[in-house]
Amino acid sequence: MQSEITREFIAQIEDAIERRDAEFILSNMEEMYAVDITTVLYELNTEQSKYVMDVLPPDVGAEILSDLDSDVRTNFLKNFTTEEIARYIGEMDSDDAVDLLNEQPVQRKEEIIALLEDQEHVADIIDLLHYDEDCAGGLMAKELIKVNINWRVGQCIDEIRRQAEDVEKVYAIYVVDERDKLVGRLSMKTLILCGDETPISKVYDPDVISIESYKDEQEVATVMQKYDLDAIPVVNIQGRLLGRITIDDVIDVIQEQAELSRQLMTGITENIEEDDSVFRLSRARLPWLMVGMVGGLLGARFIGLFEGDISVIPALAMFTPLITATGGNVGIQSSSIIIQTLANKTVLFDNFTSRIVKVLLVAIINGLVMSGLVLGFNILFGVQFTLSVVVAVALFSVVLLASFMGTVTPMILDKYGINPAVAAGPFITTANDLLGLAVYFLVAHVLLNL
Protein backbone atom coordinates (compact mmCIF):
# COMPACT_ATOMS: atom_id res chain seq x y z
CA MET A 1 0.00 0.00 0.00
CA GLN A 2 1.41 3.36 -1.00
CA SER A 3 1.10 5.80 1.84
CA GLU A 4 1.38 9.58 2.03
CA ILE A 5 3.74 10.46 4.85
CA THR A 6 2.29 13.50 6.62
CA ARG A 7 3.38 15.36 9.71
CA GLU A 8 0.18 14.19 11.39
CA PHE A 9 1.02 10.56 10.67
CA ILE A 10 4.54 11.01 12.07
CA ALA A 11 3.05 12.52 15.23
CA GLN A 12 0.69 9.55 15.60
CA ILE A 13 3.59 7.12 15.29
CA GLU A 14 5.63 9.08 17.85
CA ASP A 15 2.69 9.01 20.24
CA ALA A 16 2.27 5.26 19.73
CA ILE A 17 5.96 4.70 20.42
CA GLU A 18 5.73 6.71 23.64
CA ARG A 19 2.74 4.59 24.71
CA ARG A 20 4.53 1.42 23.53
CA ASP A 21 1.47 0.66 21.40
CA ALA A 22 2.95 -2.01 19.14
CA GLU A 23 -0.47 -2.97 17.78
CA PHE A 24 -1.10 0.55 16.44
CA ILE A 25 2.30 0.64 14.73
CA LEU A 26 1.79 -2.77 13.15
CA SER A 27 -1.71 -2.02 11.94
CA ASN A 28 -0.57 1.22 10.29
CA MET A 29 2.69 -0.07 8.81
CA GLU A 30 2.11 -3.70 7.92
CA GLU A 31 0.85 -2.82 4.43
CA MET A 32 3.26 0.06 3.80
CA TYR A 33 6.18 -0.34 1.43
CA ALA A 34 9.51 -0.65 3.18
CA VAL A 35 10.79 2.49 1.47
CA ASP A 36 7.87 4.47 2.96
CA ILE A 37 8.63 3.09 6.41
CA THR A 38 12.24 4.13 5.89
CA THR A 39 11.02 7.68 5.22
CA VAL A 40 9.17 7.60 8.54
CA LEU A 41 12.26 6.35 10.39
CA TYR A 42 14.30 9.27 9.07
CA GLU A 43 11.86 11.58 10.90
CA LEU A 44 12.27 9.73 14.22
CA ASN A 45 15.17 9.70 16.62
CA THR A 46 17.36 6.61 17.06
CA GLU A 47 15.51 5.20 20.08
CA GLN A 48 12.12 5.60 18.39
CA SER A 49 13.36 4.00 15.17
CA LYS A 50 14.80 1.08 17.11
CA TYR A 51 11.42 0.43 18.73
CA VAL A 52 9.65 0.45 15.36
CA MET A 53 12.20 -2.04 14.00
CA ASP A 54 11.66 -4.32 16.98
CA VAL A 55 7.91 -4.30 16.36
CA LEU A 56 8.03 -5.00 12.62
CA PRO A 57 8.56 -8.51 11.17
CA PRO A 58 12.23 -9.40 10.48
CA ASP A 59 11.74 -9.58 6.69
CA VAL A 60 10.38 -6.02 6.65
CA GLY A 61 13.18 -4.85 8.91
CA ALA A 62 15.72 -6.48 6.58
CA GLU A 63 14.32 -4.59 3.61
CA ILE A 64 14.39 -1.32 5.56
CA LEU A 65 18.04 -1.82 6.52
CA SER A 66 18.87 -2.52 2.88
CA ASP A 67 17.31 0.84 1.91
CA LEU A 68 19.17 2.94 4.49
CA ASP A 69 22.17 5.03 3.49
CA SER A 70 25.42 3.33 4.42
CA ASP A 71 26.55 5.96 6.97
CA VAL A 72 23.12 6.13 8.60
CA ARG A 73 22.87 2.34 8.76
CA THR A 74 26.30 1.96 10.32
CA ASN A 75 25.45 4.33 13.19
CA PHE A 76 21.94 2.92 13.56
CA LEU A 77 23.13 -0.68 13.90
CA LYS A 78 25.34 0.27 16.85
CA ASN A 79 22.10 0.10 18.86
CA PHE A 80 21.42 -3.52 17.87
CA THR A 81 22.83 -6.71 19.32
CA THR A 82 24.65 -9.19 17.11
CA GLU A 83 21.68 -11.58 17.50
CA GLU A 84 19.27 -8.93 16.18
CA ILE A 85 21.48 -8.11 13.22
CA ALA A 86 21.90 -11.81 12.42
CA ARG A 87 18.11 -12.18 12.35
CA TYR A 88 17.81 -9.43 9.76
CA ILE A 89 20.71 -10.72 7.66
CA GLY A 90 19.03 -14.12 7.53
CA GLU A 91 16.18 -12.44 5.60
CA MET A 92 18.40 -10.54 3.16
CA ASP A 93 19.73 -11.45 -0.26
CA SER A 94 23.39 -12.35 -0.07
CA ASP A 95 24.60 -9.13 -1.77
CA ASP A 96 22.69 -6.88 0.65
CA ALA A 97 23.88 -8.99 3.59
CA VAL A 98 27.52 -8.59 2.52
CA ASP A 99 27.12 -4.83 2.12
CA LEU A 100 25.84 -4.60 5.68
CA LEU A 101 28.52 -6.92 7.09
CA ASN A 102 31.34 -5.00 5.43
CA GLU A 103 30.29 -1.94 7.42
CA GLN A 104 30.81 -3.77 10.73
CA PRO A 105 34.04 -4.20 12.72
CA VAL A 106 35.83 -7.50 11.98
CA GLN A 107 35.01 -9.12 15.33
CA ARG A 108 31.34 -8.19 15.16
CA LYS A 109 31.15 -9.38 11.56
CA GLU A 110 32.46 -12.82 12.54
CA GLU A 111 30.09 -13.01 15.50
CA ILE A 112 27.11 -12.24 13.26
CA ILE A 113 28.11 -14.86 10.67
CA ALA A 114 28.51 -17.45 13.44
CA LEU A 115 24.91 -16.83 14.55
CA LEU A 116 23.38 -17.49 11.10
CA GLU A 117 21.57 -20.81 10.90
CA ASP A 118 21.15 -21.27 7.15
CA GLN A 119 24.51 -22.76 6.17
CA GLU A 120 23.86 -22.36 2.45
CA HIS A 121 23.21 -18.66 3.02
CA VAL A 122 26.39 -18.45 5.12
CA ALA A 123 28.42 -20.07 2.34
CA ASP A 124 27.07 -17.57 -0.18
CA ILE A 125 27.91 -14.64 2.11
CA ILE A 126 31.45 -15.86 2.81
CA ASP A 127 32.00 -16.36 -0.90
CA LEU A 128 30.95 -12.79 -1.67
CA LEU A 129 33.07 -11.29 1.11
CA HIS A 130 36.16 -12.05 -0.98
CA TYR A 131 35.21 -9.55 -3.68
CA ASP A 132 35.85 -5.81 -3.72
CA GLU A 133 32.62 -3.87 -3.39
CA ASP A 134 33.18 -1.88 -6.59
CA CYS A 135 33.47 -4.86 -8.97
CA ALA A 136 30.88 -7.20 -10.49
CA GLY A 137 31.58 -9.85 -7.86
CA GLY A 138 30.88 -7.32 -5.11
CA LEU A 139 27.57 -6.33 -6.72
CA MET A 140 26.22 -9.79 -7.45
CA ALA A 141 23.85 -11.93 -5.39
CA LYS A 142 24.21 -15.69 -5.23
CA GLU A 143 20.46 -16.26 -5.31
CA LEU A 144 19.34 -17.25 -8.81
CA ILE A 145 17.52 -19.93 -10.80
CA LYS A 146 19.71 -22.32 -12.78
CA VAL A 147 19.02 -25.63 -14.52
CA ASN A 148 21.19 -28.25 -16.20
CA ILE A 149 21.23 -28.48 -19.96
CA ASN A 150 20.78 -32.26 -19.76
CA TRP A 151 17.50 -32.07 -17.82
CA ARG A 152 14.00 -32.29 -19.20
CA VAL A 153 11.36 -29.61 -18.71
CA GLY A 154 9.49 -31.51 -15.97
CA GLN A 155 12.64 -31.91 -13.88
CA CYS A 156 13.48 -28.30 -14.58
CA ILE A 157 10.12 -27.08 -13.24
CA ASP A 158 10.54 -29.11 -10.04
CA GLU A 159 14.00 -27.64 -9.50
CA ILE A 160 12.73 -24.12 -10.16
CA ARG A 161 10.06 -24.55 -7.50
CA ARG A 162 12.74 -25.61 -5.03
CA GLN A 163 15.18 -22.81 -5.88
CA ALA A 164 12.53 -20.10 -6.11
CA GLU A 165 11.98 -20.26 -2.35
CA ASP A 166 15.24 -18.32 -1.95
CA VAL A 167 14.81 -16.02 -4.97
CA GLU A 168 12.54 -13.02 -4.54
CA LYS A 169 12.40 -12.03 -8.23
CA VAL A 170 12.91 -14.44 -11.11
CA TYR A 171 14.29 -12.38 -13.99
CA ALA A 172 15.70 -15.31 -15.94
CA ILE A 173 16.46 -19.03 -15.79
CA TYR A 174 20.10 -19.74 -16.52
CA VAL A 175 21.23 -22.95 -18.20
CA VAL A 176 24.55 -24.56 -17.19
CA ASP A 177 26.44 -27.71 -18.14
CA GLU A 178 27.89 -30.42 -15.90
CA ARG A 179 30.80 -28.15 -14.88
CA ASP A 180 28.41 -25.34 -13.95
CA LYS A 181 29.52 -23.36 -17.01
CA LEU A 182 26.92 -20.89 -18.27
CA VAL A 183 25.71 -21.97 -21.71
CA GLY A 184 22.46 -20.05 -22.16
CA ARG A 185 19.14 -19.00 -20.70
CA LEU A 186 15.55 -20.20 -20.73
CA SER A 187 12.47 -18.02 -20.92
CA MET A 188 9.44 -18.65 -18.74
CA LYS A 189 7.24 -18.61 -21.83
CA THR A 190 9.24 -21.43 -23.42
CA LEU A 191 9.14 -23.42 -20.21
CA ILE A 192 5.37 -23.12 -19.87
CA LEU A 193 4.62 -24.03 -23.49
CA CYS A 194 6.84 -27.13 -23.64
CA GLY A 195 5.85 -30.61 -22.49
CA ASP A 196 7.43 -32.20 -19.41
CA GLU A 197 9.55 -34.58 -21.48
CA THR A 198 11.03 -31.92 -23.73
CA PRO A 199 14.85 -31.76 -23.33
CA ILE A 200 16.15 -28.41 -22.16
CA SER A 201 18.92 -28.71 -24.75
CA LYS A 202 16.29 -28.43 -27.50
CA VAL A 203 14.57 -25.26 -26.27
CA TYR A 204 17.13 -23.09 -24.45
CA ASP A 205 18.56 -19.90 -25.94
CA PRO A 206 22.39 -19.98 -26.18
CA ASP A 207 22.49 -16.22 -26.71
CA VAL A 208 23.14 -14.90 -23.20
CA ILE A 209 25.01 -11.78 -22.13
CA SER A 210 27.20 -12.22 -19.06
CA ILE A 211 29.99 -10.36 -17.30
CA GLU A 212 33.13 -11.52 -15.51
CA SER A 213 33.33 -11.14 -11.74
CA TYR A 214 36.42 -8.92 -11.86
CA LYS A 215 34.86 -6.26 -14.12
CA ASP A 216 34.43 -2.75 -12.73
CA GLU A 217 30.96 -1.69 -11.55
CA GLN A 218 30.87 1.08 -14.15
CA GLU A 219 31.33 -1.50 -16.89
CA VAL A 220 28.48 -3.54 -15.41
CA ALA A 221 26.21 -0.48 -15.53
CA THR A 222 27.27 0.28 -19.11
CA VAL A 223 26.51 -3.24 -20.34
CA MET A 224 23.12 -3.38 -18.62
CA GLN A 225 22.16 0.04 -19.99
CA LYS A 226 23.34 -0.80 -23.49
CA TYR A 227 21.39 -4.06 -23.73
CA ASP A 228 18.45 -2.95 -21.55
CA LEU A 229 18.82 -5.83 -19.08
CA ASP A 230 16.89 -6.40 -15.86
CA ALA A 231 19.57 -8.79 -14.62
CA ILE A 232 22.93 -10.05 -15.83
CA PRO A 233 24.67 -13.32 -14.88
CA VAL A 234 28.19 -13.13 -13.42
CA VAL A 235 30.80 -15.72 -14.40
CA ASN A 236 34.42 -16.40 -13.54
CA ILE A 237 37.36 -16.62 -15.97
CA GLN A 238 36.36 -20.19 -16.91
CA GLY A 239 32.77 -19.15 -17.59
CA ARG A 240 31.28 -20.82 -14.50
CA LEU A 241 28.09 -19.22 -13.25
CA LEU A 242 28.69 -17.45 -9.94
CA GLY A 243 25.65 -15.23 -9.39
CA ARG A 244 23.60 -12.44 -10.90
CA ILE A 245 23.39 -8.66 -10.69
CA THR A 246 19.90 -7.13 -10.72
CA ILE A 247 18.83 -3.75 -12.02
CA ASP A 248 18.22 -2.26 -8.55
CA ASP A 249 21.91 -2.64 -7.67
CA VAL A 250 22.99 -1.09 -10.97
CA ILE A 251 20.68 1.89 -10.48
CA ASP A 252 22.50 2.55 -7.20
CA VAL A 253 25.83 2.52 -9.06
CA ILE A 254 24.53 4.90 -11.74
CA GLN A 255 23.20 7.30 -9.09
CA GLU A 256 26.49 7.23 -7.18
CA GLN A 257 28.51 7.94 -10.32
CA ALA A 258 26.16 10.74 -11.39
CA GLU A 259 26.39 12.31 -7.94
CA LEU A 260 30.19 12.04 -7.94
CA SER A 261 30.43 13.64 -11.41
CA ARG A 262 28.06 16.43 -10.38
CA GLN A 263 30.16 17.18 -7.31
CA LEU A 264 33.40 17.15 -9.29
CA MET A 265 31.91 19.51 -11.89
CA THR A 266 30.98 21.96 -9.14
CA GLY A 267 34.44 21.79 -7.58
CA ILE A 268 33.75 19.37 -4.69
CA THR A 269 36.58 16.86 -4.41
CA GLU A 270 34.95 14.26 -2.14
CA ASN A 271 31.68 12.36 -2.08
CA ILE A 272 29.89 14.21 0.71
CA GLU A 273 26.41 14.44 2.19
CA GLU A 274 24.67 17.42 3.76
CA ASP A 275 24.84 15.84 7.23
CA ASP A 276 28.63 15.27 7.11
CA SER A 277 30.87 17.09 9.58
CA VAL A 278 31.79 20.75 9.10
CA PHE A 279 35.45 19.75 8.71
CA ARG A 280 34.74 17.23 5.94
CA LEU A 281 32.42 19.62 4.10
CA SER A 282 35.06 22.35 4.25
CA ARG A 283 37.85 19.99 3.18
CA ALA A 284 35.83 18.86 0.15
CA ARG A 285 35.14 22.40 -1.04
CA LEU A 286 38.38 24.24 -0.31
CA PRO A 287 40.73 22.79 -2.98
CA TRP A 288 38.86 24.13 -6.02
CA LEU A 289 37.93 27.32 -4.17
CA MET A 290 41.66 27.86 -3.70
CA VAL A 291 42.23 27.17 -7.41
CA GLY A 292 39.57 29.74 -8.27
CA MET A 293 41.08 32.24 -5.88
CA VAL A 294 44.56 31.78 -7.35
CA GLY A 295 43.04 32.15 -10.82
CA GLY A 296 41.40 35.40 -9.72
CA LEU A 297 44.69 36.71 -8.35
CA LEU A 298 46.47 35.80 -11.58
CA GLY A 299 43.68 37.51 -13.54
CA ALA A 300 44.15 40.66 -11.47
CA ARG A 301 47.90 40.59 -12.07
CA PHE A 302 47.26 39.94 -15.75
CA ILE A 303 45.03 43.00 -16.03
CA GLY A 304 47.80 44.93 -14.32
CA LEU A 305 50.09 44.17 -17.26
CA PHE A 306 47.74 46.22 -19.43
CA GLU A 307 47.37 49.06 -16.95
CA GLY A 308 48.87 51.44 -19.48
CA ASP A 309 46.27 50.50 -22.11
CA ILE A 310 43.46 50.92 -19.61
CA SER A 311 44.80 54.34 -18.56
CA VAL A 312 44.61 55.47 -22.19
CA ILE A 313 41.11 54.03 -22.73
CA PRO A 314 39.48 53.48 -19.31
CA ALA A 315 36.34 52.08 -20.97
CA LEU A 316 38.30 48.89 -21.72
CA ALA A 317 37.89 47.84 -18.07
CA MET A 318 34.11 48.11 -18.35
CA PHE A 319 33.86 45.07 -20.63
CA THR A 320 36.20 42.66 -18.80
CA PRO A 321 33.30 41.01 -16.84
CA LEU A 322 31.50 40.38 -20.15
CA ILE A 323 34.56 38.67 -21.65
CA THR A 324 35.37 36.49 -18.62
CA ALA A 325 31.77 35.48 -17.92
CA THR A 326 31.08 34.53 -21.54
CA GLY A 327 34.27 32.51 -21.82
CA GLY A 328 33.48 30.60 -18.64
CA ASN A 329 29.90 29.87 -19.67
CA VAL A 330 30.84 28.67 -23.15
CA GLY A 331 33.60 26.46 -21.74
CA ILE A 332 31.28 24.82 -19.20
CA GLN A 333 28.62 24.18 -21.86
CA SER A 334 31.13 22.56 -24.21
CA SER A 335 32.76 20.44 -21.51
CA SER A 336 29.38 19.29 -20.14
CA ILE A 337 28.30 17.97 -23.55
CA ILE A 338 31.60 16.12 -24.03
CA ILE A 339 31.50 14.68 -20.50
CA GLN A 340 27.96 13.42 -21.12
CA THR A 341 29.12 11.72 -24.31
CA LEU A 342 32.18 10.23 -22.60
CA ALA A 343 29.99 8.85 -19.82
CA ASN A 344 27.86 6.98 -22.36
CA LYS A 345 30.26 4.25 -23.45
CA THR A 346 27.75 3.01 -26.05
CA VAL A 347 28.43 6.16 -28.11
CA LEU A 348 31.45 5.98 -30.37
CA PHE A 349 33.36 9.19 -31.01
CA ASP A 350 34.00 10.34 -34.56
CA ASN A 351 37.64 10.94 -35.32
CA PHE A 352 39.26 13.80 -33.45
CA THR A 353 39.42 16.14 -36.45
CA SER A 354 35.70 15.89 -37.32
CA ARG A 355 34.80 16.40 -33.67
CA ILE A 356 36.84 19.61 -33.47
CA VAL A 357 35.46 20.86 -36.79
CA LYS A 358 31.91 20.37 -35.54
CA VAL A 359 32.67 22.21 -32.29
CA LEU A 360 34.23 25.10 -34.19
CA LEU A 361 31.22 25.41 -36.52
CA VAL A 362 28.87 25.60 -33.54
CA ALA A 363 31.20 28.11 -31.86
CA ILE A 364 31.34 30.26 -35.01
CA ILE A 365 27.55 30.46 -35.18
CA ASN A 366 27.24 31.26 -31.46
CA GLY A 367 30.13 33.71 -31.61
CA LEU A 368 28.72 35.59 -34.61
CA VAL A 369 25.31 35.94 -32.99
CA MET A 370 26.67 37.06 -29.61
CA SER A 371 29.32 39.44 -30.99
CA GLY A 372 26.75 40.93 -33.40
CA LEU A 373 24.35 41.60 -30.54
CA VAL A 374 27.09 43.18 -28.42
CA LEU A 375 28.26 45.33 -31.32
CA GLY A 376 24.72 46.57 -31.99
CA PHE A 377 24.07 47.17 -28.28
CA ASN A 378 27.24 49.22 -27.84
CA ILE A 379 26.64 51.33 -30.94
CA LEU A 380 23.01 51.90 -29.89
CA PHE A 381 24.12 53.20 -26.48
CA GLY A 382 26.81 55.46 -27.83
CA VAL A 383 29.97 53.48 -27.15
CA GLN A 384 32.87 54.54 -29.38
CA PHE A 385 32.68 52.57 -32.64
CA THR A 386 36.30 51.39 -32.55
CA LEU A 387 35.93 50.15 -28.98
CA SER A 388 32.66 48.43 -29.90
CA VAL A 389 34.45 46.57 -32.68
CA VAL A 390 37.25 45.56 -30.30
CA VAL A 391 34.77 44.12 -27.82
CA ALA A 392 32.85 42.27 -30.56
CA VAL A 393 35.99 40.78 -32.13
CA ALA A 394 37.38 39.81 -28.71
CA LEU A 395 34.09 38.20 -27.71
CA PHE A 396 33.96 36.20 -30.95
CA SER A 397 37.54 35.01 -30.42
CA VAL A 398 36.87 34.07 -26.79
CA VAL A 399 33.82 32.00 -27.76
CA LEU A 400 35.93 30.05 -30.28
CA LEU A 401 38.77 29.51 -27.82
CA ALA A 402 36.52 28.57 -24.89
CA SER A 403 34.59 26.06 -27.03
CA PHE A 404 37.87 24.48 -28.14
CA MET A 405 39.21 24.28 -24.58
CA GLY A 406 35.93 22.94 -23.18
CA THR A 407 35.92 20.18 -25.80
CA VAL A 408 39.56 19.15 -25.88
CA THR A 409 40.35 19.19 -22.16
CA PRO A 410 37.83 16.48 -21.08
CA MET A 411 38.83 14.29 -24.05
CA ILE A 412 42.50 14.49 -23.12
CA LEU A 413 41.82 13.77 -19.45
CA ASP A 414 39.63 10.78 -20.37
CA LYS A 415 42.34 9.42 -22.66
CA TYR A 416 44.81 9.40 -19.76
CA GLY A 417 42.36 7.78 -17.34
CA ILE A 418 41.44 10.92 -15.38
CA ASN A 419 37.78 11.60 -14.62
CA PRO A 420 36.83 14.27 -17.21
CA ALA A 421 34.31 15.80 -14.79
CA VAL A 422 37.22 17.55 -13.07
CA ALA A 423 37.67 19.59 -16.25
CA ALA A 424 34.32 21.31 -15.82
CA GLY A 425 33.29 23.98 -13.34
CA PRO A 426 36.13 25.81 -11.59
CA PHE A 427 38.94 24.45 -13.81
CA ILE A 428 37.44 25.46 -17.17
CA THR A 429 36.07 28.71 -15.76
CA THR A 430 39.41 29.80 -14.28
CA ALA A 431 41.40 28.81 -17.37
CA ASN A 432 39.00 30.59 -19.71
CA ASP A 433 39.01 33.73 -17.56
CA LEU A 434 42.76 34.06 -18.03
CA LEU A 435 42.68 33.16 -21.72
CA GLY A 436 39.73 35.47 -22.33
CA LEU A 437 41.51 38.42 -20.76
CA ALA A 438 44.63 37.68 -22.81
CA VAL A 439 42.61 37.61 -26.04
CA TYR A 440 40.65 40.74 -25.13
CA PHE A 441 43.65 42.94 -24.39
CA LEU A 442 45.61 41.51 -27.32
CA VAL A 443 42.81 42.44 -29.72
CA ALA A 444 42.51 45.87 -28.11
CA HIS A 445 46.27 46.40 -28.35
CA VAL A 446 46.30 45.53 -32.06
CA LEU A 447 43.12 47.29 -33.22
CA LEU A 448 43.53 50.41 -31.12
CA ASN A 449 47.28 50.72 -31.78
CA LEU A 450 48.04 51.03 -28.07
Give the confidence band of 116 by pLDDT, cuts at 50, 70, 90.
very high
Give the confidence band of 354 by pLDDT, cuts at 50, 70, 90.
confident
Whether residues 121 and 149 fall in one domain = no
Classify residue 240: in a domain, yes or no: yes
Residue 179: what pLDDT? 92
Domain final residue, candidates 188, 221, 255:
255
Whether residues 127 and 31 fall in one domain = yes
Whether residues 128 and 149 fall in one domain = no
Share of the chain above pLDDT 70, in %: 87
Residue 136: what pLDDT? 92
**Residues 288-337: pLDDT tens digits?**
677 767 777 777 776 777 777 676 677 777 888 888 888 888 887 887 77
Whether residues 124 and 155 fall in one domain = no
Residue 183: what pLDDT? 95
Q: Please state the three-class secondary structure of 319-368 as a single string.
A: HHHHHHHHHHHHHHHHHHHHHHHHHCCCCCCCCHHHHHHHHHHHHHHHHH
CATH code for position 355: 1.10.357.20
Which of these ranges, 317-326, 398-407, 416-425, has the smallest mean pLDDT? 416-425
Classify residue 139: in a domain, yes or no: no
Does 402 or 308 have the greater pLDDT score? 402
CATH code for position 161: 3.10.580.10
Classify residue 262: in a domain, yes or no: no
CATH code for position 40: 1.25.60.10
Residue 422: what pLDDT? 64
Residue 2: what pLDDT? 47
How high does pLDDT run on average in the chain? Answer: 84
Classify residue 273: in a domain, yes or no: no
Query: Which residues, other chains included, contact 252 with Cβ-Cβ below 8 Å and sequence gap of 6+?
Result: none
Which range scores top for mean pLDDT: 123-137, 262-276, 281-295?
123-137
Determine what percent of the chain falls in helix, strand and coil, rounding each to the nearest 5.
65, 10, 25
Query: Which residues, other chains included, contact 396 with Cβ-Cβ below 8 Å and sequence gap of 6+?
Result: 367, 368, 370, 371
Kindly write down the DSSP assignment for every residue of 357-411, as one continuous string.
HHHHHHHHHHHHHHHHHHHHHHHHTT--HHHHHHHHHHHHHHHHHHHHHHHHHHH
Give the confidence band of 276 by pLDDT, cuts at 50, 70, 90.
low
Whether residues 124 and 241 fall in one domain = no
Classify residue 2: in a domain, yes or no: no
Share of the chain above pLDDT 90, in %: 36
Please say if the pLDDT value at position 257 is more than 80.
no
* Single-letter residue type at 158: D
Which of these ranges, 278-287, 337-346, 373-382, 397-406, has the smallest mean pLDDT? 337-346
Measure the CA–CA gap between 32 and 43, rounded to whole angstroms.
16
Q: Is the backbone of residue 417 left (phi > 0), alpha (psi -120 to 50) or beta? A: left
Instruction: Provide the residue range defining the domain that includes 312.
Output: 278-447
Whether residues 370 and 228 fall in one domain = no
Domain final residue, candidates 72, 99, 132:
132
**How many domains are there within the chain?**
3
- What stretch of H or E contains 426? helix 426-447
Residue 218: what pLDDT? 86
Please say if the pLDDT value at position 269 is more than 60.
no
Give the confidence band of 211 by pLDDT, cuts at 50, 70, 90.
very high
Whether residues 102 and 161 fall in one domain = no
Does 271 or 136 have the greater pLDDT score? 136
Give the confidence band of 430 by pLDDT, cuts at 50, 70, 90.
confident
Residue 158: what pLDDT? 87
Whether residues 410 and 285 fall in one domain = yes
Q: Residues in the chain, how many?
A: 450
Whether residues 156 and 110 fall in one domain = no
Whether residues 43 and 121 fall in one domain = yes
Classify residue 107: in a domain, yes or no: yes
Q: Buried b / exposed e across 284-308, counting CB within 10 Å, b at 16+? A: bbeebeebbeebeeebeeebeebee
Residue 215: what pLDDT? 93
Whether residues 319 and 441 fall in one domain = yes
Residue 267: what pLDDT? 58
Please say if the pLDDT value at position 18 is more than 70.
yes
Classify residue 229: in a domain, yes or no: yes
Domain final residue, candidates 109, 132, 155:
132
Whether residues 106 and 184 fall in one domain = no
Which of these ranges, 77-86, 156-165, 283-292, 394-403, has the smallest mean pLDDT? 283-292
Give the confidence band of 273 by pLDDT, cuts at 50, 70, 90.
low
Classify residue 404: in a domain, yes or no: yes
Measure the CA–CA gap between 424 and 168, rounded to whole angstroms.
42
Please say if the pLDDT value at position 450 is more than 60.
no
